Structure 1
């Protein structure tokens, strides 16, 4: 039976902008976050309040719901309210490393091979810092690490830098030791150990849910923009949850290969037209509006 981290989840560590792992794909918060991650840097890190609400409408989000969702993203530290010829929102510079890390996961699929190095993380955090211990376990699980024991975690070697970033962000580096190893020696088959370190049943279900959710795309979406944002929104969690374990250590009918192929095929089809839509929609709006302030308050 696979072991899972402690169920108690404390508030985020102060000053750390966390990936919004609680936002359910397809929800307002998740769709807005996906749009911002995809496009705001390409729009010079700023968007008018009116444009953001208008763009949300193309994703099927009512204006009032969109405003509430934007407020949440401000509270999470992703957006900053800022005037730039009108009321709008700027991407928080402190969030850019997180988004760049997300880009690598979402668009650069990695697959471990047998014989590639593994990374082991051992930590001993004082009992007085139980909140930090919970945060660390939660973040490790989020990036796809497996749990050998509550204080010993494992992941493909290419995730080591992300583990270090988490330790640094949580100010936990002094209590942790990292090791590199080629092949962990276990009592039985390594595949059996892997199925205990990772919850493969839950991961399989996530792949199957992703495939089910994108089956109607792009035919049921009102244009390539909505189809692409919904594709990435449904996909963006999977490259974190699934660390890319060696195929030889996974069940023969593992659905991950189908998920990766479907994402690549639809991305190639939709990404260009979706960006053309965003660029044109915002340019047309900018030339038509006299002042964003008349349309929406930036809270």
Structure 2
């Protein structure tokens, strides 16, 4: 909630592989191309194609309504909450158009001073900046790729925190340590490596003969990574960094599976 009481829709709601996360991924992928609405029965049926029992699917649907992703139309159909569209469009850009920084690209610094009385806002801002791929330079100071400026502005507006933040741009940050050492301190590279390894391991569980289930599970397993991994320049990363392989595997599988998966969804919904 913000100071005005509005619900802040969150891109990252559940860990990959959970029922709620799979349903959220399914909805984000297909409700817009299917016309923006779907009957509860059809959504439960598609969840069944992912191996999710009907009772668990209905529970997850209720949870997603409570979180503001879905609203119930007068005829009982499920519709996307219009307020969720900016979040889904942001997800499209992150998930399907991965950007990697090159040496010399601009960085953005976000300096925020949140009043002590707004610890809740301080926590939300820190958490959401981390999910934009920001590194923590110090308390109240974050660094992230300059091309994410629009997303930072959108986030600050959503949290009603713009008045507390100042944004800077630079192409030449100069920490006391060499930049690769500082980057390893600003970002938790071990945790990012573990997420890439988790994603790559999950690919072995995909059954490409069932393209709908395989594609939804691919996107669900992948969609966290483009948020938390800022795509640092290669010069700042270890020689054996797994990020490039993750992007290559995702791109290949997504291209192979997406058309048949969409055709299945259209057929199942009728």
Q: Tell me if both proteins adopt one fold, taking TM over 0.5 as the criterion.
A: yes
- Residue pairs, 1:72-111, within 5 angstroms: 72-84=63-75, 87-111=76-100
The residue aligned with 1:161 is 150
The residue aligned with 2:267 is 280
- Residue pairs, 1:59-208, within 5 angstroms: 59-84=50-75, 87-208=76-197
Once the 2 structures are TM-superposed, how far is the Cα of residue 188 of structure 1 from its aligned partner?
2.2
Unpaired segments ≥5 residues, structure 1: 1-11, 284-299
Unpaired segments ≥5 residues, structure 2: none
Find the aligned partners of 1:166 and 1:95 in 2 and give their Cα distance. 13
Contact 1:17 1:95 in 2 (8 A): no
SS of residue matched to 1:208? helix
Once the 2 structures are TM-superposed, how far is the Cα of residue 20 of structure 1 from its aligned partner?
4.7
Tell me, yes or no, if structure 1 residue 242 matches structure 2 residue 229: yes
Find the aligned partners of 2:99 and 2:11 in 1 and give their Cα distance. 22
Q: TM-score, normalised by structure 1?
A: 0.87
Contact 2:21 2:220 in 1 (8 A): yes
The residue aligned with 1:232 is 219
Work out which of the two has the higher radius of gyration on C-alpha atoms and give 1 or 2. Answer: 1
Once the 2 structures are TM-superposed, how far is the Cα of residue 216 of structure 1 from its aligned partner?
3.2
The residue aligned with 1:223 is 210
Tell me, yes or no, if structure 1 residue 47 matches structure 2 residue 38: yes
Q: TM-score, normalised by structure 2?
A: 0.97
Q: What root-mean-square deviation, in Å, do the aligned CA atoms of Structure 1 and Structure 2 show?
A: 1.1
The residue aligned with 1:258 is 245
Provide Cα deviations, 1:230-277, integer angstroms capped at 9, x if missing partner. Answer: 000000000001011101100010000110000000001000000001
Once the 2 structures are TM-superposed, how far is the Cα of residue 218 of structure 1 from its aligned partner?
3.0
- Alignment size in residue pairs: 268
Contact 1:148 1:154 in 2 (8 A): yes
Once the 2 structures are TM-superposed, how far is the Cα of residue 103 of structure 1 from its aligned partner?
0.2
